[in-house]
Amino acid sequence: MAISNISSNLRPGVCTSTTRPSTPYEGQMIYETDTDMLAIWNGSAWRYISATTPTQGSVLQIVTGNTATGVVNNTSTYVDSGLSATITPKSTSSRILVQVFQYYGKSNGNAENRVQVKLMRGSTDLINSGGLINYTGTAIYSINALCMAHVDAPSTTSATTYKTQFMNPNNAPGVVAQYGDGTSTIVLMEIAG
């Protein structure tokens, strides 16, 4: 996809955000029809220039991640739940709205079984659920859905991964993410800053 000169006007290549050139050259300019954004390859990454200035608060992109694979943690050490998604912000001033809907369960092995969940950006802790998810105070099975929302300011245009981790604060057996193969979802929305 080359830049063309028609009637003395500079015209960038036209594509979508998913059909950009796979081997761009430094200085190459494209217009993405699905995002209404201009982008220039700087030799290592696409740098965006809005074709129409996005209004503060506008949604620039949405990325989702899903999993139904159960993950067991029988310890008080945080482990990845298997739920994650990666977004590449178009601007360092953007905010990322992170929404999580995730299934957790506990066995009937111990009345103190419960789940503590935290949302992370890479290796950075963002928010923590506390330790009362699925707490019943009795030795019965318990399945619940966790909903979390957080607005993050990553201040980057590099690929950024958000994920959840979980553990049993009492180090007792029987806590499971995606309990019963329920599908958990994470949604990342880039909001213009």
Q: Tens digit of pLDDT for each residue in 122-175?
A: 999 999 887 666 666 666 667 778 899 999 999 999 999 999 999 888 776 678
Give residue 132's pLDDT.
64
Neighbours of 112 (CB within 10 A): 17
Backbone φ, ψ for residue 181 (5° rounding): 60, 25
DSSP code of 178? T
Q: How confident is the model at residue 36 (pLDDT cuts 50, 70, 90)?
A: confident
DSSP 67-113: E---EEE-SSS-EEEEEEEEE--S-TT-EEEEEEEEEEEE-SS-TT-
Tell me: pLDDT of 5 over 60. no
Give residue 155's pLDDT.
94
By percentage, how much of the chain surpasses pLDDT 90?
40
What residue has token string 């998810």?
133
Give residue 13's pLDDT.
84
For 93-106, the pLDDT digits (tens) are 999 999 999 988 87
> What average pLDDT does range 45-52 have in this prediction?
72
For 55-82, the pLDDT digits (tens) are 778 888 999 999 999 999 888 899 999 9
User: If 0-12 CB within 10 Å is exposed, 13-18 middle and 19+ buried, where does residue 101 land?
Assistant: middle
Give residue 109's pLDDT.
67
Give residue 12's pLDDT.
77
Query: Do β-strands 46-50 and 29-32 pair in parallel, antiparallel, or remain unpaired?
Result: unpaired
> What average pLDDT does range 179-190 have in this prediction?
91
Asked if residue 32 lies in contact with residue 13, where contact means CB atoms within 8 angstroms, the answer is no
Query: pTM for the full model?
Result: 0.71
Q: What is the maximal distance between C-alpha atoms in the chain? A: 78
Give residue 102's pLDDT.
93
Give residue 135's pLDDT.
66
Give residue 39's pLDDT.
85
Give residue 129's pLDDT.
83
Measured distance CA(191)–CA(153) in Å, rounded: 10
By percentage, how much of the chain surpasses pLDDT 70?
81
